[in-house]
Amino acid sequence: MFDDLWLAAPEDAYAHWQREEATGADRRAFADQSIVQHRSMFSRFNDYLIAHHASVASYGADHLDGFFAELAQDCSPGTTTRLRYLKLVDRFTRHLVNIELRADNPAAQMLVNECWPEDEPTPIYLSSEDDARLQAVCVATEGAAFKELRNNAIVALFLASGVSAAELRQLRVDDLDVVGDRPTVFVDKHGPRIARRVPIDSFAVDVLRDYYGARRRVQCATQWLFIATAAGKPMRPDTMVKCVRAALKRAGLNAADESPRLLRHTYGRRHIVAGKQIVFLEPIPVCQ
């Protein structure tokens, strides 16, 4: 029954196998957090196969090459992302060979030529003190023009929710909920990251409420939450970087990486220090 599920509903089959049978290199079952991440990774690989008219039972080395070429566009050099995907594909493909749904494992040969990097790039983040200084400038000022309010809201949302630049760019007006007692933002599935509703840290609520009201009053042809023009075009990545740099300058701060990634890492570190789990961020060290 479950063998057939790999052909009819691969993501359901993977979820069942991951929960009931799959183990890591130490022959232990995977932790719940790892299972969530692995299922999201599998979903991205399966989406690629479907888009290229293949399946987990029929993909070949050319599909792997194409998938990793696409993946490289979203990965920083020197990280283990490619290898983690390759090990995941190798693991479930070995299972498919064992149950005779496949005759070969294209990932196995690729793994022979791979090795773990010496270390991954150390994430850059603001200290707790600098984090507080940046939070203090993420506010709405009375009589601010729409553009100024928008730019402050962008920085505030990066710092208060941990969303990535690509995710923020795709947010729609209705994704932001600032009406209730616990404001949140809904982030749709993007790449390997699962769809999720993220609580917004309290320091950003006021400026986001002000921006939300201003955005609702703008009549344009699109529903993007953050718009670059009156016609409703979404924000450009370089413009979002400029917003972050301007906010850092107002706070009297500078960093080696003055991009939305810095704020994402800062958000992650803040929550990890507070004892909260962040399953969609790369590892963040907690030392000062």
For the cut 50, the answer to whether the pLDDT of residue 285 exceeds it is no
CATH class of 2-112: mainly alpha
What pLDDT is stored for residue 184 in this prediction? 94
Looking at domain 128-273, its CATH architecture is Orthogonal Bundle (1.10)
pLDDT of the residue at 39 = 87
Ranges of each domain in the chain? 2-112, 128-273
Angle, nearest 10°, between helix axes 32-51 and 10-20? 160
Residue 186, phi then psi, degrees to nearest 5: -90, 125
CA dihedral over 91, 93, 97, 101, signed as positive or negative: positive
Ramachandran assignment for 162, one of left (phi > 0), alpha (psi -120 to 50 degrees), beta (any other): left
Q: Are strands 196-199 and 184-187 parallel, antiparallel or unpaired?
A: antiparallel
**Interval 194-253: pLDDT, tens:** 788 999 999 999 999 999 999 999 999 999 999 999 889 999 888 999 999 999 999 999
Angle (deg, nearest 10), helices 146-161 and 205-216 = 130
Q: Which amino acid is at 209?
A: R
* C-alpha distances in Å from residue 249, one per residue of 26, 152, 230, 253: 48, 13, 27, 6
pLDDT of residue 282: 44
